[in-house]
Structure 1
Amino acid sequence: MKMVRYKRLLVAACVFAALSVSTVSAADTATLNEKDLVIDKTTTEAGEQVLPEKKNLEEVEQARTGSIEVVLTDGKAGTDKSNVIIRCQKVSEIVQGEYVLLKSYKDAGVDLNAIENSNDLKNAAEQLLSKAEESTNTNVTDANGTVTFKNLEVGVYLISAEDTERYDTVEPSLIAVPTWSDSEGEMQYDVVIEPKHTEKPDKEENTAPQTNLEENTWRYAGLAGICVVGAVVCIIRMRKRKY
């Protein structure tokens, strides 16, 4: 009778050990999912921007030139908005009150004349960037995160940045020269743009919890294995004594 009771206690101990491992591992996984998921946050300091309407394009002076000032706003803590390489590429002409894509961009599947809102403009910029060739019109931002491209012909320009570990990921943008100004009530040939940018996730914070989870899982599995082996040895010894 004592032998049967002893065996039951050993079996219960093994089951408890196995359940403990499963519970602790599940708890570790839950903690990882809740605390360590990284969600990109988009900086939205820059105002919503669209291309000038057709009625405004009729006022464009083709012989004039203009400029685009690119201003990078503060990024994630610890980043540096200086010395970021900015590219300025012309993608479209303005002909008789309409936007006409340059030859190298015609197969991008974009119609700038159909742009209605800032989301359409963003999608168009991304599509045009995928077709963009290496630009010779590049410059780097100064200590304030600013760079200016001068003597630009009338048209639409694609502004993009070379990815860098020192700053956020910069979204490509489209801006026209000239651009209509509601405050001035006229077309502006010297324009300013603040590209939106997205924080980059911290790689070290993402990988460390996963490594810790694996270490804990193996540790708990080892403890459970020791308990099972110990129980089996005890049962064998008790049987030998009985006989």
Structure 2
Amino acid sequence: MNRKISAALITGMVAGGALAGSHTILAESDRTPDVTLVPEKDLTKVPENGLGSISIELTESKDNRPRDNVKFGLYKVADVINGEYVLNDDFAQSEVDLNDIKTANDMEEVARKLSRFAYESLVTELVTDYQGKTRADQLSVGVYLLQAEDIAGYEFIAPFLIAIPTWDDVDELFLYDVDVLPKHDQLPKIAVDKVDAATGVAITSNDFQFTSYSDPECKEKLDVVAGNITDGTATFEVDYGITYIKETGAPMGYMLSDEVVKVEINDEGMYVNDSKVDPGDDLIYHYVYNNTLLGGAKTAVGTNAGLLMAIGGASIVIVGIIAIKMKRKQN
């Protein structure tokens, strides 16, 4: 049998019942039904001393990001006791009831909530190879939380739950060796739009540069992006977590700004300077970054400040030459 099952489907099909032997599902389903964590089967029939495994395989992203070195934390969330899922001590304070989950959406919400309590129950850390694969063996019966601790250069992966055994409602058997294809989403980008503070017009035809950092003091450099002189933007691919962006090369004729832009990507969405934003369908959020002319002078709309300075400098030189010649002539 070769069928595909995605992480969303697996996390919505965790159950117990009559032992049907070890089995591995290798592929992805085109359906994600609303099912319960504990469907119609009886958890009392699951041997509490059973063992299984979880294999993870990351599928390719649209922009072919590398799939290696993605680190997952594997946490034991609950055990099977007297025919029910019972949360371990570290997760009991979450007050969720795994036995009362009704839909796959409920399952995803519970996984996000439990991830906030994942401290001391770490079973192991898993790191993917160049094919995006990793595996954990000899796992006891129960429910496990997997969350990406470090996505490296890959995409965002929401935390998800897997149970051993997992119930396959198509073939009606229990899976003790489970292959998972986690859902992953493209991370949004932020485009810093360079704008003249006096005119509100984009600063184009003028070189500038921005740098991203991992710390608010802007000492730990992550990436350097040269501005697009055609549209006056600098676009960053930001990873899950917090990134700080600062101007490190101002357009000619403008003051270097000390403004630091805080960008955060988390389970709830995208935040810029601690305010939630909508990156839109193209997954690019535009942030207006004002620049002030040196000396505070205003420019005409569409005028290149650098050119104005060059012309002004040339005029001074010409006036100086004329003055010297006139003085010599008088002598």
Equivalent residue, structure 2, for 1:22: none
Equivalent residue, structure 2, for 1:217: 200
Instruction: Classify 1:179/1:102 alpha carbon distance in 2 versus 1 (closer, same or farther; 3 Å).
Output: same
TM-score (norm 1): 0.65
Equivalent residue, structure 1, for 2:100: 114
RMSD: 2.7
TM-score (norm 2): 0.49
How far apart are the structure 1 equivalents of 2:202 and 2:170?
A: 67
Match of residue 146, structure 1, among 127, 130, 133:
133
User: Match for 1:173: what amino acid?
Assistant: F
Which is higher, the Rg of structure 1 or of structure 2?
Answer: 1
Report the 3-state secondary structure (helix = DSSP H, G, I; strand = E; otherwise coil) of the residue aligned with 1:105.
Answer: helix
User: Match for 2:43: what amino acid?
Assistant: L
- Which residues of structure 2 form unaligned runs of 5+? 16-37, 204-297, 302-331
User: Match for 1:84: what amino acid?
Assistant: V
Equivalent residue, structure 2, for 1:17: none
How far apart are the structure 2 equivalents of 1:169 and 1:110?
A: 24
- How do 1:1-243 residues align onto structure 2 when only pairs under 5 Å count? 46-49=7-10, 50=12, 51-52=14-15, 53=38, 55-133=41-119, 135=122, 137-203=124-190, 206-207=191-192, 210-212=193-195, 217=200, 222-223=299-300
Structure with bigger strand share is: 2
- Which residues of structure 1 form unaligned runs of 5+? 1-43, 225-243
Structure with bigger helix share is: 1
**How big is the shift at 1:177?**
0.2
How far apart are the structure 2 equivalents of 1:196 and 1:91?
A: 20
Q: Structure 1 segments of 4 or more deviating over 3 A?
A: 44-47, 212-216, 218-221
How far apart are the structure 2 equivalents of 1:58 and 1:152?
A: 19
Equivalent residues, number = 178
How far apart are the structure 2 equivalents of 1:126 and 1:102?
A: 17
Larger RCO of the pair (alpha carbons < 8 Å, separation 6+): 1
Instruction: Classify 1:90/1:211 alpha carbon distance in 2 versus 1 (closer, same or farther; 3 Å).
Output: same
